[in-house]
Structure 1
Amino acid sequence: MNKHKVDIVSEVSMPKRGDSLDNPLGHPKEFKLPTMEVVPGKYTNTLYSPRDITDDWKAYKDYLSEVKPAFHPHVLFVGHDSSEIENIALMSLGGILHHMNGSANYALVGEGNINILSDIISKKQPEWIGFNLYTGLTDYVFDWIKKYKIERASFILKKTISDFDTADKALKNMVRETNGPIYDGNQIIYAPVIIGGHFNNYSFEESFCKGGDYVVRGKGINILRDILLGLYSPGIYHDPMPYANIPRMDREAFFKDMYEFSDKTKGYVVSRIKSVLTALGCSYTCSYCYISSLID
Protein backbone atom coordinates (compact mmCIF):
# COMPACT_ATOMS: atom_id res chain seq x y z
CA MET A 1 0.00 0.00 0.00
CA ASN A 2 1.44 3.40 -0.99
CA LYS A 3 1.21 6.01 1.76
CA HIS A 4 2.94 9.36 1.41
CA LYS A 5 3.28 12.14 3.92
CA VAL A 6 1.35 15.28 3.00
CA ASP A 7 2.55 18.60 4.39
CA ILE A 8 -0.44 20.86 5.04
CA VAL A 9 0.37 24.53 5.54
CA SER A 10 -1.57 27.70 6.18
CA GLU A 11 1.03 30.14 4.87
CA VAL A 12 3.45 29.38 2.07
CA SER A 13 6.17 31.50 0.52
CA MET A 14 5.99 30.95 -3.22
CA PRO A 15 8.50 32.25 -5.79
CA LYS A 16 8.08 35.96 -6.43
CA ARG A 17 8.34 38.01 -9.60
CA GLY A 18 11.94 37.96 -10.74
CA ASP A 19 12.82 34.75 -8.88
CA SER A 20 14.22 31.86 -10.89
CA LEU A 21 11.63 29.20 -11.70
CA ASP A 22 14.24 26.67 -12.84
CA ASN A 23 15.35 23.63 -10.89
CA PRO A 24 19.14 24.01 -10.54
CA LEU A 25 19.43 20.21 -10.31
CA GLY A 26 17.36 19.62 -13.45
CA HIS A 27 14.98 17.25 -11.69
CA PRO A 28 14.20 15.97 -8.17
CA LYS A 29 16.12 12.99 -6.82
CA GLU A 30 13.35 11.89 -4.47
CA PHE A 31 9.81 10.71 -5.08
CA LYS A 32 7.70 12.76 -2.71
CA LEU A 33 4.71 15.08 -2.79
CA PRO A 34 5.16 18.84 -2.72
CA THR A 35 3.87 20.93 0.15
CA MET A 36 0.06 21.01 0.06
CA GLU A 37 -2.45 23.72 0.93
CA VAL A 38 -6.08 22.72 1.35
CA VAL A 39 -8.59 25.28 0.09
CA PRO A 40 -11.65 24.29 2.19
CA GLY A 41 -14.59 23.07 0.16
CA LYS A 42 -12.68 23.31 -3.12
CA TYR A 43 -9.39 21.56 -3.82
CA THR A 44 -5.82 21.08 -2.67
CA ASN A 45 -3.13 23.43 -3.95
CA THR A 46 0.04 21.57 -4.90
CA LEU A 47 2.78 24.04 -3.99
CA TYR A 48 5.70 22.86 -6.08
CA SER A 49 8.94 24.69 -5.42
CA PRO A 50 11.52 24.98 -8.22
CA ARG A 51 13.43 22.04 -6.74
CA ASP A 52 10.30 19.88 -6.96
CA ILE A 53 9.86 20.20 -10.70
CA THR A 54 11.50 18.56 -13.70
CA ASP A 55 13.28 20.92 -16.10
CA ASP A 56 15.76 18.55 -17.71
CA TRP A 57 13.42 15.88 -18.99
CA LYS A 58 16.11 13.93 -20.84
CA ALA A 59 18.16 13.60 -17.64
CA TYR A 60 15.00 12.63 -15.75
CA LYS A 61 14.29 9.90 -18.30
CA ASP A 62 17.79 8.50 -17.77
CA TYR A 63 17.42 8.79 -13.99
CA LEU A 64 14.16 6.82 -14.00
CA SER A 65 15.79 4.15 -16.16
CA GLU A 66 18.37 3.67 -13.41
CA VAL A 67 16.22 3.81 -10.28
CA LYS A 68 12.90 2.47 -11.68
CA PRO A 69 13.89 0.20 -14.59
CA ALA A 70 10.52 -1.61 -14.58
CA PHE A 71 8.50 1.62 -14.61
CA HIS A 72 6.73 2.13 -17.96
CA PRO A 73 3.42 3.98 -17.45
CA HIS A 74 0.81 3.84 -20.21
CA VAL A 75 -1.95 6.43 -20.60
CA LEU A 76 -4.83 6.76 -23.05
CA PHE A 77 -5.42 10.50 -23.55
CA VAL A 78 -8.89 11.48 -24.72
CA GLY A 79 -10.01 14.84 -26.11
CA HIS A 80 -12.76 16.32 -28.24
CA ASP A 81 -12.66 16.09 -32.04
CA SER A 82 -14.31 19.48 -32.57
CA SER A 83 -11.15 21.60 -32.73
CA GLU A 84 -9.78 22.87 -36.04
CA ILE A 85 -6.19 22.48 -34.84
CA GLU A 86 -4.21 19.67 -33.24
CA ASN A 87 -4.59 19.13 -29.50
CA ILE A 88 -1.43 20.71 -28.13
CA ALA A 89 -2.41 19.98 -24.52
CA LEU A 90 -2.54 16.23 -25.04
CA MET A 91 0.73 16.20 -26.97
CA SER A 92 2.40 18.08 -24.12
CA LEU A 93 1.09 15.61 -21.55
CA GLY A 94 2.18 12.77 -23.79
CA GLY A 95 5.68 14.20 -23.67
CA ILE A 96 5.69 13.43 -19.95
CA LEU A 97 4.99 9.77 -20.68
CA HIS A 98 7.80 9.63 -23.23
CA HIS A 99 10.26 11.12 -20.75
CA MET A 100 9.13 8.73 -18.01
CA ASN A 101 9.93 5.72 -20.23
CA GLY A 102 6.23 5.16 -20.80
CA SER A 103 3.85 5.45 -23.72
CA ALA A 104 0.67 7.27 -24.69
CA ASN A 105 -2.22 6.59 -27.00
CA TYR A 106 -4.63 9.25 -28.18
CA ALA A 107 -8.30 9.40 -29.13
CA LEU A 108 -10.29 12.47 -30.16
CA VAL A 109 -13.98 11.69 -30.00
CA GLY A 110 -17.42 13.23 -30.30
CA GLU A 111 -20.86 12.29 -29.09
CA GLY A 112 -21.41 9.95 -32.03
CA ASN A 113 -18.33 7.77 -31.58
CA ILE A 114 -17.25 7.98 -27.92
CA ASN A 115 -18.22 4.35 -27.33
CA ILE A 116 -15.20 3.35 -29.42
CA LEU A 117 -13.15 4.06 -26.29
CA SER A 118 -14.18 0.69 -24.90
CA ASP A 119 -12.63 -1.05 -27.92
CA ILE A 120 -9.46 1.04 -27.64
CA ILE A 121 -9.10 0.22 -23.95
CA SER A 122 -9.58 -3.49 -24.63
CA LYS A 123 -6.96 -3.42 -27.39
CA LYS A 124 -4.36 -1.05 -25.92
CA GLN A 125 -4.74 -1.92 -22.20
CA PRO A 126 -3.83 1.53 -20.80
CA GLU A 127 -3.10 1.86 -17.09
CA TRP A 128 -4.68 5.30 -16.90
CA ILE A 129 -7.33 7.23 -18.89
CA GLY A 130 -6.90 10.99 -19.11
CA PHE A 131 -9.64 13.31 -20.36
CA ASN A 132 -9.12 16.89 -21.57
CA LEU A 133 -12.58 18.48 -21.19
CA TYR A 134 -13.99 21.67 -22.68
CA THR A 135 -17.05 23.41 -21.26
CA GLY A 136 -20.17 22.54 -23.26
CA LEU A 137 -18.77 19.23 -24.50
CA THR A 138 -18.96 17.16 -21.34
CA ASP A 139 -22.34 15.44 -21.04
CA TYR A 140 -21.56 12.53 -23.35
CA VAL A 141 -18.12 12.11 -21.75
CA PHE A 142 -19.60 11.84 -18.27
CA ASP A 143 -22.21 9.40 -19.59
CA TRP A 144 -19.42 7.18 -20.91
CA ILE A 145 -17.43 7.40 -17.67
CA LYS A 146 -20.56 6.41 -15.74
CA LYS A 147 -21.03 3.28 -17.86
CA TYR A 148 -17.31 2.47 -17.68
CA LYS A 149 -17.19 2.64 -13.90
CA ILE A 150 -20.40 0.67 -13.39
CA GLU A 151 -19.13 -2.08 -15.72
CA ARG A 152 -15.68 -2.20 -14.10
CA ALA A 153 -17.01 -2.20 -10.54
CA SER A 154 -19.46 -5.00 -11.39
CA PHE A 155 -16.66 -7.03 -12.97
CA ILE A 156 -14.18 -6.56 -10.12
CA LEU A 157 -16.69 -7.11 -7.30
CA LYS A 158 -18.34 -9.99 -9.17
CA LYS A 159 -21.85 -8.70 -8.65
CA THR A 160 -24.29 -6.57 -10.59
CA ILE A 161 -24.02 -2.88 -9.73
CA SER A 162 -26.50 -0.52 -11.34
CA ASP A 163 -25.97 2.57 -9.18
CA PHE A 164 -23.18 4.91 -10.33
CA ASP A 165 -22.46 6.41 -6.91
CA THR A 166 -21.88 2.93 -5.49
CA ALA A 167 -19.53 2.02 -8.35
CA ASP A 168 -17.69 5.33 -8.18
CA LYS A 169 -17.14 5.10 -4.42
CA ALA A 170 -15.95 1.50 -4.62
CA LEU A 171 -13.44 2.22 -7.38
CA LYS A 172 -12.14 5.38 -5.73
CA ASN A 173 -11.54 3.38 -2.55
CA MET A 174 -9.65 0.72 -4.52
CA VAL A 175 -7.50 3.35 -6.22
CA ARG A 176 -6.90 5.01 -2.85
CA GLU A 177 -5.40 1.75 -1.57
CA THR A 178 -2.83 1.56 -4.38
CA ASN A 179 -2.60 5.19 -5.58
CA GLY A 180 -2.80 3.77 -9.07
CA PRO A 181 -4.29 1.20 -11.44
CA ILE A 182 -6.02 -1.96 -10.24
CA TYR A 183 -4.54 -5.28 -11.36
CA ASP A 184 -5.51 -8.92 -11.15
CA GLY A 185 -2.07 -10.50 -11.32
CA ASN A 186 -0.46 -8.90 -14.36
CA GLN A 187 -3.79 -7.99 -15.94
CA ILE A 188 -5.03 -4.41 -15.69
CA ILE A 189 -8.69 -4.50 -14.63
CA TYR A 190 -9.28 -0.83 -13.86
CA ALA A 191 -7.56 2.20 -15.34
CA PRO A 192 -8.18 5.23 -13.09
CA VAL A 193 -9.80 8.29 -14.67
CA ILE A 194 -7.87 11.58 -14.70
CA ILE A 195 -9.82 14.68 -15.76
CA GLY A 196 -8.23 17.98 -16.74
CA GLY A 197 -8.98 20.78 -19.17
CA HIS A 198 -10.73 24.17 -19.18
CA PHE A 199 -13.94 22.67 -17.77
CA ASN A 200 -12.24 22.24 -14.41
CA ASN A 201 -11.56 25.96 -13.98
CA TYR A 202 -15.01 26.32 -12.42
CA SER A 203 -16.56 22.84 -12.49
CA PHE A 204 -13.83 20.79 -10.78
CA GLU A 205 -16.26 19.39 -8.20
CA GLU A 206 -18.62 18.21 -10.93
CA SER A 207 -15.74 16.39 -12.62
CA PHE A 208 -14.94 14.58 -9.37
CA CYS A 209 -18.56 13.72 -8.55
CA LYS A 210 -19.21 12.47 -12.09
CA GLY A 211 -16.38 9.97 -12.16
CA GLY A 212 -12.95 11.56 -12.08
CA ASP A 213 -10.63 9.72 -9.72
CA TYR A 214 -8.09 12.50 -10.11
CA VAL A 215 -9.25 15.99 -11.11
CA VAL A 216 -6.57 18.49 -12.13
CA ARG A 217 -7.26 22.21 -12.20
CA GLY A 218 -4.77 24.40 -14.06
CA LYS A 219 -1.50 23.25 -15.55
CA GLY A 220 -1.05 19.52 -15.09
CA ILE A 221 2.59 18.84 -15.97
CA ASN A 222 3.87 18.43 -12.41
CA ILE A 223 0.74 16.80 -11.02
CA LEU A 224 0.51 14.22 -13.81
CA ARG A 225 4.15 13.24 -13.32
CA ASP A 226 3.48 12.50 -9.66
CA ILE A 227 0.12 10.80 -10.25
CA LEU A 228 1.92 8.36 -12.54
CA LEU A 229 4.55 7.81 -9.85
CA GLY A 230 1.80 6.77 -7.43
CA LEU A 231 2.24 9.69 -5.06
CA TYR A 232 -1.30 11.08 -5.14
CA SER A 233 -4.52 9.61 -3.81
CA PRO A 234 -7.82 10.37 -5.58
CA GLY A 235 -8.91 13.98 -5.17
CA ILE A 236 -9.04 17.45 -6.72
CA TYR A 237 -5.67 19.16 -7.19
CA HIS A 238 -4.57 22.57 -8.44
CA ASP A 239 -1.03 23.63 -9.35
CA PRO A 240 -1.05 27.46 -9.04
CA MET A 241 2.47 28.05 -10.40
CA PRO A 242 3.00 28.54 -14.18
CA TYR A 243 6.33 26.73 -14.43
CA ALA A 244 7.42 26.58 -18.07
CA ASN A 245 8.74 23.04 -17.77
CA ILE A 246 6.81 21.41 -20.59
CA PRO A 247 8.73 18.52 -22.17
CA ARG A 248 9.14 17.95 -25.89
CA MET A 249 5.69 17.14 -27.25
CA ASP A 250 4.76 13.61 -28.23
CA ARG A 251 3.80 14.73 -31.71
CA GLU A 252 4.88 11.55 -33.49
CA ALA A 253 2.66 9.21 -31.45
CA PHE A 254 -0.22 11.69 -31.60
CA PHE A 255 -0.01 11.89 -35.39
CA LYS A 256 0.22 8.10 -35.70
CA ASP A 257 -2.96 7.56 -33.69
CA MET A 258 -4.80 10.43 -35.37
CA TYR A 259 -3.95 9.12 -38.84
CA GLU A 260 -5.32 5.69 -37.97
CA PHE A 261 -8.30 6.82 -35.89
CA SER A 262 -10.63 8.40 -38.47
CA ASP A 263 -10.75 10.44 -41.64
CA LYS A 264 -11.65 13.46 -39.52
CA THR A 265 -8.67 13.20 -37.19
CA LYS A 266 -6.38 12.40 -40.11
CA GLY A 267 -6.79 16.06 -40.98
CA TYR A 268 -4.62 17.06 -38.02
CA VAL A 269 -1.74 15.13 -39.56
CA VAL A 270 -1.94 16.47 -43.10
CA SER A 271 -2.80 20.05 -42.11
CA ARG A 272 -0.10 22.62 -42.75
CA ILE A 273 -1.12 24.37 -39.51
CA LYS A 274 0.97 23.18 -36.57
CA SER A 275 0.78 24.48 -32.99
CA VAL A 276 3.48 25.78 -30.67
CA LEU A 277 3.46 27.10 -27.10
CA THR A 278 5.07 30.51 -26.64
CA ALA A 279 4.09 31.30 -23.04
CA LEU A 280 2.31 29.98 -19.96
CA GLY A 281 0.07 31.88 -17.58
CA CYS A 282 -0.39 35.65 -17.45
CA SER A 283 0.69 38.47 -15.16
CA TYR A 284 -2.74 40.13 -15.30
CA THR A 285 -5.99 39.20 -13.53
CA CYS A 286 -8.74 40.26 -15.92
CA SER A 287 -12.10 39.24 -14.46
CA TYR A 288 -13.43 37.88 -17.75
CA CYS A 289 -10.46 35.59 -18.46
CA TYR A 290 -10.36 31.91 -17.54
CA ILE A 291 -6.64 32.09 -16.67
CA SER A 292 -7.22 34.67 -13.94
CA SER A 293 -9.90 32.39 -12.48
CA LEU A 294 -7.11 29.99 -11.53
CA ILE A 295 -5.63 32.51 -9.09
CA ASP A 296 -7.12 32.50 -5.59
Structure 2
Amino acid sequence: MHVILRGAAVVTAGALILAGGAGAASGAAPAARPVVSGITPAKVSTAGGGTVTIVGKGFADVSTVTFGELEATSFDVVSTTKITAVVPAGSGGAVPVTVTAADGDSLVTKTTVVTYRTPLGIDVSDNPVAKASGGPLVLTVTGGTIGATPQAFAKELISVLVNRVKAKASYIDEDQLAITVPAIPADSAEVTVVHDSIAGETATITLAPVVTSLSVKYSTLAGGVKTIVKVAGASIGDSTDFMFGGNAADCSKEGSVASPSFICWVPAAEEAGPVVVSFTSGSGVDSSYTSAAMFSYTDN
Protein backbone atom coordinates (compact mmCIF):
# COMPACT_ATOMS: atom_id res chain seq x y z
CA MET A 1 0.00 0.00 0.00
CA HIS A 2 2.84 2.38 0.82
CA VAL A 3 4.35 1.87 -2.63
CA ILE A 4 1.03 2.50 -4.38
CA LEU A 5 0.50 5.85 -2.59
CA ARG A 6 4.02 6.92 -3.54
CA GLY A 7 3.24 6.14 -7.17
CA ALA A 8 0.03 8.13 -7.04
CA ALA A 9 1.88 11.11 -5.71
CA VAL A 10 4.33 10.90 -8.59
CA VAL A 11 1.51 10.74 -11.16
CA THR A 12 -0.26 13.67 -9.57
CA ALA A 13 2.86 15.79 -9.66
CA GLY A 14 3.37 14.92 -13.29
CA ALA A 15 -0.19 15.95 -14.11
CA LEU A 16 0.32 19.37 -12.54
CA ILE A 17 3.43 19.96 -14.57
CA LEU A 18 1.64 19.09 -17.80
CA ALA A 19 -1.30 21.42 -17.01
CA GLY A 20 1.06 24.35 -16.59
CA GLY A 21 2.54 23.87 -20.09
CA ALA A 22 6.00 24.60 -21.35
CA GLY A 23 5.58 28.36 -20.87
CA ALA A 24 4.77 28.03 -17.19
CA ALA A 25 7.72 25.69 -16.73
CA SER A 26 10.08 28.19 -18.33
CA GLY A 27 8.55 31.26 -16.55
CA ALA A 28 7.73 33.09 -19.86
CA ALA A 29 5.14 35.97 -19.67
CA PRO A 30 1.81 35.48 -21.49
CA ALA A 31 1.39 37.24 -24.87
CA ALA A 32 0.05 40.85 -24.63
CA ARG A 33 -2.30 42.36 -27.24
CA PRO A 34 -1.54 45.87 -28.61
CA VAL A 35 -2.94 48.82 -26.65
CA VAL A 36 -4.20 52.07 -28.20
CA SER A 37 -4.07 54.97 -25.74
CA GLY A 38 -4.81 57.92 -28.03
CA ILE A 39 -5.58 59.08 -31.59
CA THR A 40 -4.87 62.52 -33.03
CA PRO A 41 -6.85 64.15 -34.53
CA ALA A 42 -10.03 62.63 -33.12
CA LYS A 43 -12.22 64.20 -35.87
CA VAL A 44 -11.78 63.03 -39.47
CA SER A 45 -13.40 63.76 -42.83
CA THR A 46 -15.92 61.40 -44.41
CA ALA A 47 -13.99 62.01 -47.64
CA GLY A 48 -11.02 60.21 -46.11
CA GLY A 49 -7.43 60.95 -47.01
CA GLY A 50 -6.38 62.60 -43.76
CA THR A 51 -3.65 61.20 -41.55
CA VAL A 52 -4.04 60.30 -37.88
CA THR A 53 -1.37 59.43 -35.34
CA ILE A 54 -2.08 56.43 -33.12
CA VAL A 55 -0.11 56.07 -29.90
CA GLY A 56 0.01 53.18 -27.46
CA LYS A 57 2.17 50.11 -27.04
CA GLY A 58 2.69 46.64 -28.42
CA PHE A 59 2.78 47.76 -32.05
CA ALA A 60 4.99 44.87 -33.20
CA ASP A 61 4.18 42.87 -36.34
CA VAL A 62 1.07 45.00 -37.05
CA SER A 63 -0.98 43.51 -39.87
CA THR A 64 -3.97 45.86 -40.11
CA VAL A 65 -5.38 49.13 -38.81
CA THR A 66 -9.15 49.46 -39.14
CA PHE A 67 -11.63 52.32 -38.79
CA GLY A 68 -14.84 50.59 -37.86
CA GLU A 69 -15.06 47.86 -40.49
CA LEU A 70 -12.84 49.69 -43.00
CA GLU A 71 -9.12 49.16 -43.33
CA ALA A 72 -6.85 52.18 -43.31
CA THR A 73 -5.88 53.30 -46.81
CA SER A 74 -2.29 52.83 -45.64
CA PHE A 75 -0.34 52.89 -42.39
CA ASP A 76 3.23 53.18 -41.18
CA VAL A 77 4.50 51.65 -37.94
CA VAL A 78 6.86 54.36 -36.75
CA SER A 79 7.76 52.47 -33.58
CA THR A 80 6.28 49.97 -31.13
CA THR A 81 4.39 52.91 -29.58
CA LYS A 82 3.40 54.97 -32.64
CA ILE A 83 1.55 54.41 -35.92
CA THR A 84 0.51 56.89 -38.61
CA ALA A 85 -2.49 55.87 -40.70
CA VAL A 86 -4.33 57.36 -43.69
CA VAL A 87 -8.05 57.49 -42.98
CA PRO A 88 -10.38 55.66 -45.40
CA ALA A 89 -13.56 57.34 -46.66
CA GLY A 90 -16.49 56.67 -44.36
CA SER A 91 -19.90 57.84 -43.18
CA GLY A 92 -20.70 60.33 -40.44
CA GLY A 93 -20.47 59.21 -36.84
CA ALA A 94 -18.10 57.69 -34.30
CA VAL A 95 -16.15 54.51 -35.12
CA PRO A 96 -13.52 52.54 -33.19
CA VAL A 97 -9.95 52.31 -34.45
CA THR A 98 -8.42 48.85 -34.00
CA VAL A 99 -4.79 47.77 -34.35
CA THR A 100 -4.25 44.11 -35.17
CA ALA A 101 -0.79 42.75 -34.34
CA ALA A 102 0.82 39.37 -33.86
CA ASP A 103 -0.56 39.09 -30.32
CA GLY A 104 -4.17 40.05 -31.13
CA ASP A 105 -6.47 43.06 -31.55
CA SER A 106 -6.43 46.20 -29.45
CA LEU A 107 -9.44 46.69 -27.20
CA VAL A 108 -12.04 49.41 -27.85
CA THR A 109 -12.18 52.23 -25.27
CA LYS A 110 -13.30 55.85 -25.32
CA THR A 111 -9.76 56.85 -26.34
CA THR A 112 -9.75 54.57 -29.41
CA VAL A 113 -12.65 56.23 -31.24
CA VAL A 114 -12.63 58.81 -34.05
CA THR A 115 -15.64 60.76 -35.28
CA TYR A 116 -16.30 61.17 -38.99
CA ARG A 117 -17.60 64.63 -39.98
CA THR A 118 -18.88 65.64 -43.43
CA PRO A 119 -16.98 68.49 -45.13
CA LEU A 120 -19.48 71.19 -46.15
CA GLY A 121 -19.21 73.56 -49.11
CA ILE A 122 -20.93 76.77 -50.23
CA ASP A 123 -23.21 77.23 -53.23
CA VAL A 124 -21.92 80.21 -55.23
CA SER A 125 -24.02 79.60 -58.36
CA ASP A 126 -26.08 82.71 -57.52
CA ASN A 127 -22.93 84.77 -56.92
CA PRO A 128 -23.46 85.79 -53.28
CA VAL A 129 -22.38 89.40 -52.78
CA ALA A 130 -21.38 91.10 -49.54
CA LYS A 131 -20.66 94.76 -48.93
CA ALA A 132 -16.98 95.65 -48.77
CA SER A 133 -17.90 97.71 -45.71
CA GLY A 134 -19.01 94.52 -43.95
CA GLY A 135 -22.39 93.22 -42.91
CA PRO A 136 -24.72 90.21 -43.08
CA LEU A 137 -24.66 87.61 -45.84
CA VAL A 138 -26.77 84.47 -46.29
CA LEU A 139 -24.93 81.36 -47.48
CA THR A 140 -26.39 78.14 -48.88
CA VAL A 141 -24.47 75.12 -47.63
CA THR A 142 -23.78 72.11 -49.85
CA GLY A 143 -22.61 68.57 -49.15
CA GLY A 144 -24.91 67.92 -46.20
CA THR A 145 -27.27 69.43 -43.67
CA ILE A 146 -26.29 71.79 -40.87
CA GLY A 147 -29.11 70.51 -38.67
CA ALA A 148 -32.89 70.28 -38.81
CA THR A 149 -33.29 72.64 -35.84
CA PRO A 150 -31.21 75.35 -34.14
CA GLN A 151 -30.49 72.85 -31.36
CA ALA A 152 -29.21 70.28 -33.86
CA PHE A 153 -27.14 73.01 -35.54
CA ALA A 154 -25.45 73.78 -32.23
CA LYS A 155 -24.43 70.13 -31.85
CA GLU A 156 -22.84 70.09 -35.32
CA LEU A 157 -20.26 72.66 -34.13
CA ILE A 158 -20.25 74.58 -37.41
CA SER A 159 -18.21 77.75 -37.90
CA VAL A 160 -17.29 79.91 -40.91
CA LEU A 161 -13.95 81.43 -41.87
CA VAL A 162 -13.73 84.56 -44.03
CA ASN A 163 -10.20 84.95 -45.34
CA ARG A 164 -9.19 82.45 -42.60
CA VAL A 165 -10.68 84.61 -39.85
CA LYS A 166 -13.65 83.26 -37.89
CA ALA A 167 -16.90 85.09 -38.64
CA LYS A 168 -20.09 85.04 -36.59
CA ALA A 169 -22.51 82.45 -38.03
CA SER A 170 -26.16 81.81 -37.15
CA TYR A 171 -28.76 79.23 -38.18
CA ILE A 172 -31.51 79.96 -40.74
CA ASP A 173 -32.59 76.47 -41.81
CA GLU A 174 -31.02 73.09 -42.52
CA ASP A 175 -29.37 74.38 -45.70
CA GLN A 176 -28.70 78.05 -44.95
CA LEU A 177 -26.81 80.10 -42.42
CA ALA A 178 -26.14 83.79 -42.00
CA ILE A 179 -22.68 85.20 -41.39
CA THR A 180 -21.37 88.64 -40.56
CA VAL A 181 -18.70 89.60 -43.08
CA PRO A 182 -16.06 91.99 -41.74
CA ALA A 183 -15.03 95.11 -43.65
CA ILE A 184 -12.55 94.00 -46.33
CA PRO A 185 -10.99 96.45 -48.83
CA ALA A 186 -11.04 93.99 -51.74
CA ASP A 187 -13.20 92.77 -54.62
CA SER A 188 -13.61 89.25 -53.21
CA ALA A 189 -13.09 87.07 -50.15
CA GLU A 190 -12.47 83.37 -49.46
CA VAL A 191 -15.13 81.68 -47.34
CA THR A 192 -14.88 78.22 -45.75
CA VAL A 193 -17.38 76.24 -43.68
CA VAL A 194 -15.74 74.26 -40.87
CA HIS A 195 -17.73 71.27 -39.58
CA ASP A 196 -16.38 70.39 -36.13
CA SER A 197 -12.75 71.06 -37.21
CA ILE A 198 -13.25 69.54 -40.69
CA ALA A 199 -12.87 72.28 -43.31
CA GLY A 200 -14.86 72.08 -46.53
CA GLU A 201 -13.89 73.39 -49.94
CA THR A 202 -13.20 77.12 -49.96
CA ALA A 203 -15.53 79.32 -52.03
CA THR A 204 -15.05 82.83 -53.36
CA ILE A 205 -17.68 85.50 -52.72
CA THR A 206 -17.88 88.94 -54.31
CA LEU A 207 -17.35 92.08 -52.25
CA ALA A 208 -19.11 95.12 -53.69
CA PRO A 209 -17.79 98.67 -53.33
CA VAL A 210 -20.37 100.83 -51.55
CA VAL A 211 -21.09 104.30 -50.24
CA THR A 212 -20.99 104.16 -46.44
CA SER A 213 -22.12 107.69 -45.59
CA LEU A 214 -23.05 111.14 -46.91
CA SER A 215 -22.51 114.16 -44.69
CA VAL A 216 -25.36 115.99 -46.48
CA LYS A 217 -28.32 114.03 -47.90
CA TYR A 218 -30.55 116.81 -49.33
CA SER A 219 -30.25 119.63 -51.86
CA THR A 220 -32.43 121.81 -54.02
CA LEU A 221 -32.51 121.13 -57.76
CA ALA A 222 -29.86 123.80 -58.18
CA GLY A 223 -27.26 121.67 -56.41
CA GLY A 224 -23.97 123.29 -55.49
CA VAL A 225 -24.00 121.91 -51.95
CA LYS A 226 -20.86 120.28 -50.55
CA THR A 227 -21.21 116.77 -49.15
CA ILE A 228 -18.53 114.43 -47.87
CA VAL A 229 -18.87 110.95 -49.36
CA LYS A 230 -17.27 107.99 -47.59
CA VAL A 231 -16.89 104.73 -49.45
CA ALA A 232 -15.57 101.17 -49.02
CA GLY A 233 -14.06 98.77 -51.50
CA ALA A 234 -10.88 97.81 -53.31
CA SER A 235 -8.43 100.66 -54.00
CA ILE A 236 -10.98 103.16 -52.74
CA GLY A 237 -8.40 105.94 -52.75
CA ASP A 238 -8.50 105.81 -56.55
CA SER A 239 -12.30 105.84 -56.84
CA THR A 240 -13.75 107.86 -59.72
CA ASP A 241 -16.97 108.70 -61.60
CA PHE A 242 -19.13 109.86 -58.69
CA MET A 243 -22.74 110.20 -59.80
CA PHE A 244 -25.88 111.61 -58.15
CA GLY A 245 -28.49 109.68 -60.03
CA GLY A 246 -27.68 110.34 -63.68
CA ASN A 247 -25.66 113.49 -62.98
CA ALA A 248 -21.88 113.53 -62.64
CA ALA A 249 -20.41 115.23 -59.57
CA ASP A 250 -17.13 117.08 -59.14
CA CYS A 251 -15.30 115.28 -56.32
CA SER A 252 -11.82 115.42 -54.77
CA LYS A 253 -10.14 113.05 -52.35
CA GLU A 254 -9.11 113.94 -48.81
CA GLY A 255 -7.83 112.02 -45.81
CA SER A 256 -5.40 109.10 -45.54
CA VAL A 257 -4.71 106.49 -48.18
CA ALA A 258 -6.16 103.76 -45.93
CA SER A 259 -9.31 105.71 -45.04
CA PRO A 260 -10.01 108.39 -47.62
CA SER A 261 -13.21 110.34 -48.15
CA PHE A 262 -14.37 112.48 -51.06
CA ILE A 263 -15.57 116.06 -51.06
CA CYS A 264 -18.30 116.24 -53.69
CA TRP A 265 -20.22 119.22 -55.01
CA VAL A 266 -23.78 118.14 -55.63
CA PRO A 267 -24.68 118.53 -59.33
CA ALA A 268 -27.89 120.20 -60.46
CA ALA A 269 -30.90 118.00 -61.25
CA GLU A 270 -34.03 118.43 -63.34
CA GLU A 271 -36.52 116.58 -61.12
CA ALA A 272 -37.10 116.43 -57.38
CA GLY A 273 -36.94 113.08 -55.64
CA PRO A 274 -34.51 110.46 -54.37
CA VAL A 275 -31.41 109.39 -56.31
CA VAL A 276 -28.56 106.98 -55.60
CA VAL A 277 -24.99 108.20 -55.21
CA SER A 278 -22.65 105.83 -57.04
CA PHE A 279 -19.00 105.59 -58.01
CA THR A 280 -16.43 103.29 -59.60
CA SER A 281 -13.78 101.78 -57.32
CA GLY A 282 -10.08 102.00 -58.06
CA SER A 283 -10.22 98.40 -59.30
CA GLY A 284 -12.83 99.38 -61.90
CA VAL A 285 -15.92 97.90 -60.22
CA ASP A 286 -19.17 99.87 -60.08
CA SER A 287 -20.59 100.42 -56.60
CA SER A 288 -23.72 98.62 -55.39
CA TYR A 289 -26.78 100.16 -53.80
CA THR A 290 -26.98 100.73 -50.06
CA SER A 291 -29.40 102.83 -48.06
CA ALA A 292 -26.44 105.01 -47.07
CA ALA A 293 -26.14 106.05 -50.75
CA MET A 294 -29.59 107.64 -50.94
CA PHE A 295 -29.71 111.38 -51.69
CA SER A 296 -32.82 113.56 -52.23
CA TYR A 297 -33.46 116.60 -54.38
CA THR A 298 -36.18 119.01 -53.31
CA ASP A 299 -38.06 121.72 -55.17
CA ASN A 300 -37.07 124.39 -52.67
The structure with the larger Rg is 2
Q: TM-score, normalised by structure 2?
A: 0.18
